[in-house]
Amino acid sequence: MVTVEERLDNLEKKVEKQAFQLRLVQQLAADYDRFGLFDQVLAYDLSEKQYQELRELTSQYTDKIKNGEEVSLHNFTEEFKRILKDIEKEVDFEKFISLWLKGPEEGFGFSKALHNHFFN
């Protein structure tokens, strides 16, 4: 049986996630080029923590490329999956990672350099 405290905790987590997603939607007005990207974040129901961890992972790998270090799509994908392990929805990781890095239709993603390294 679920306690009142557990229900309140679950509700608080849902409200936090919805508040984060609302902030993303508000950012669309200022950053329409990333609409497709934010749309994916919302579609997969990411939390702010997951979103920030993905941004940090992307920055780390982008820095590695700039420093001439060897990086692999396999390792990046494994870390990407680890961050998103709690997602309840089925994720097409190849599509999501490509969109995350490059952006929709040559738009603005979070690391075009990393996208080009992995997919070109």
One-character DSSP codes across 50-95: HHHHHHHHHHHHHHHHHTT----HHHHHHHHHHHTTT--S---HHH
User: Which amino acid appears at position 29 of this protein?
Assistant: A
For 62-120, what is each residue's pLDDT tens digit? 999 999 999 999 999 999 999 998 887 788 888 888 888 886 556 567 788 888 888 87
Helix axes 48-66, 93-102, angle to 10 degrees: 70
The token duo for 36 is: 């497709």
Note whether 50 and 20 are within 8 A (CB): no
Q: What is the pLDDT of residue 61?
A: 94
Global pTM value:
0.75
